[in-house]
Amino acid sequence: MRKLAFTQAPTPTAPKIITAARIDALDAAGSTPEAFLVIGDRFAHVGTIDACRAAAAAVSALAPEFVDLGDAVVVPGFIDAHAHPLMLGQMMSWVDCGPDRAGSIPEIIALLQEAAKTLPAGRPIRGYGYEQRNLAERRHPTRFELDEVATDREVYLMNASGHGGVVNSYTFELHGVNRDTPNPKGGEFFRDADGELTGELSDAACNVLTGLEGVKIGHHGPNFHLADEPEEHKRQLAAAQQNFLEGGVTTIGDAQVSRREFDMYLRLAESGDLKVRVSMYLLSHLLDEAIEMGLHGQFGNEHLSFAGIKFYSDGTLGGWTAYFPDGYVGDPCRTGQLYHEPGDYAELIRKAHRVGLQTATHSQSPTALEMVIGAIEAALEDRPDPDARHRIEHCGLPTPEQIARMAKAGIYPVNQPQHHYNWGEGVEQAVGTPGERFNPLGEFERAGVPVTISSDAPVADPRPMEAVQAAVSRVTRRGTQLGPDDLAVSLDTALRAHTISAARALGREDELGSIETGKRADFAVLDRDPHTTPVPELAQLAVTETWVGGERVFAR
């Protein structure tokens, strides 16, 4: 039986007065204070050094410790409002087949073959990171090509989108999938012109990869909940946590929590190893259980809390499974799919909203977004709530009319600029003219819609300054500017989008997201000032230290 641990009150520590060349508080006033005082895990005063010294003397008999960070710049701890930490940790042990490692299918096969030599017999071979339009062949590998890696154990190559990929023939045989196997609702086993399985599978079809006893989520989303031993999962989550801290991230919104993730967070918390703050969004297949247990609002402690429910409306632009009923410009035979019938989805949103739950729905195409926005509008009409803060994850291609409705309904989009940085050209090839509007942050800001950015790790690395650069420049990794200048946002807006705006999206702006008296003392230390750094170099700014609750938890 798992027991709750009760610890003694911590021994009082000396107050800390922190100074640096520049401190960006990112509060409403845009303050750049000279220093701030940390007592316990809170900012106790923000202002001049003398005022901080006086505030320390007023509440503590201990002389304050002075921490001078020199030429560094301090910002609030970055908040990654949409990420998948355990998936990131798991994939850190997989084979990296991304564009920096492989530019063609033979190069991917060679990487997987080399990895197979070091893995124990029978252990699955897993790779990640390829994006088919970036390969020389401009297509997905096939199962027959993965058969060159192994025919006696599973081989799975995950697409960069995280919404599926390619498996070898053995994987299909192991799970009883053949040419006559029907596609599951919300997913697909792809076939060639003769009806034979190509090896590609997407979204809900990935359920087969989780094993007999694995997490099964039906048509509620892409299933990346692949099983390992619990201790290995705990190690993976700890490694992912370190990865976030290295990027200056102090709080994470886990955007797809199943029993696998929940159990690992509890294990880390019990052992005292959970250093970041996590707000959990349970996947929608758990909605009825959450309501039955009385999870009708946020609860938890400062490190681990329940925030709401995650839904999926359609697939991904990167994997061409977002829903375009008239077909993709790049492949008219592909339409993508919806995870739910519109009426069923509207009822799910109504059910969650009725008990006060925040919802966060993955949605990309205009058609899917129409279903989501309409369902939220109907739920709000049924039970008005001026501060429901329903979220739309990714929200890649909303129309201007939909953006206006989002502003009126108080909907929070949570975007990932690194997506257009990494494969913006591919989206243009996939959907044609609307593609240059991918992640229209500037339009959101002008319409009064909050701008929030995140990584979607492991789809992109949890490196906030890379996301900030992409949001400010709209320039892709290959040097293409995606759309007009007015789709970009200012540096200040982008920094706030990854801090205080992200805190609001999680419902935690009262304690996180800015350097203000009374809030948790979470902050990141940058080696240079973003305001004096050329935009193309913003991603190169290094995080030299990360502090959580007034304690240094990472130093480079």
Domain ranges of the chain: 79-84+231-551, 99-159+163-215
CATH of domain 99-159+163-215: 3.10.310.70
Report phi then psi at 327, rounded to 5.
Answer: 95, 160
Q: What is the pLDDT of residue 2?
A: 40
Residue 197's DSSP bridge partners are 191
Q: CA-CA distance, 254 to 248, in Å (whole number)?
A: 17
DSSP classification of residue 427: H
User: How many Å is the Cα radius of gyration of the chain?
Assistant: 23
What do you get for the CA distance between the two ends of the chain, in Å?
39
Indicate the burial class of 485 (C-beta count within 10 angstroms; 0-12, 13-18, 19 or more): exposed
Residue among 398, 395, 353, 355 nearest 375 (CA): 353
Residue among 137, 85, 86, 138 nearest 423 (CA): 138
Tens of pLDDT, residue by residue, the chain (556 residues): 344 343 444 556 899 999 999 999 999 999 999 999 999 999 999 999 999 999 999 998 899 999 999 999 999 999 999 999 999 998 888 999 988 899 999 999 999 999 999 988 888 999 998 988 889 998 999 999 999 999 999 999 998 888 889 999 999 999 899 999 999 887 899 999 999 999 999 888 888 887 766 667 778 877 677 777 888 889 999 999 999 999 999 999 999 999 889 999 999 999 999 999 999 999 999 999 999 988 877 778 899 999 999 999 999 897 788 999 999 998 898 899 999 999 999 999 999 999 999 999 999 999 999 999 999 999 999 999 999 999 999 999 999 999 999 999 999 999 999 999 998 988 998 899 899 999 999 999 999 999 999 999 999 999 999 999 999 999 998 899 999 999 999 999 999 999 999 999 999 999 999 999 999 999 999 999 999 999 999 999 999 999 999 999 999 9
Structurally, what CATH architecture does the domain formed by 79-84+231-551 represent? Alpha-Beta Barrel (3.20)
Report phi then psi at 255, rounded to 5.
Answer: -90, 15
Residue with tokens 């293409």: 480
Which structure tokens are listed for 354? Answer: 């009725």
Is residue 76 a contact partner of residue 26, using CB atoms and an 8 Å limit? Answer: yes
CB atoms within 10 A of CB 452: 29
DSSP classification of residue 63: P
Q: Tell me the CB-side half-sphere exposure of residue 91, using CA atoms within 13 A.
A: 26
Is residue 476 a contact partner of residue 421, using CB atoms and an 8 Å limit? Answer: yes
List C-alpha distances in Å: 77 to 250, 376, 547, 552: 5, 31, 7, 12
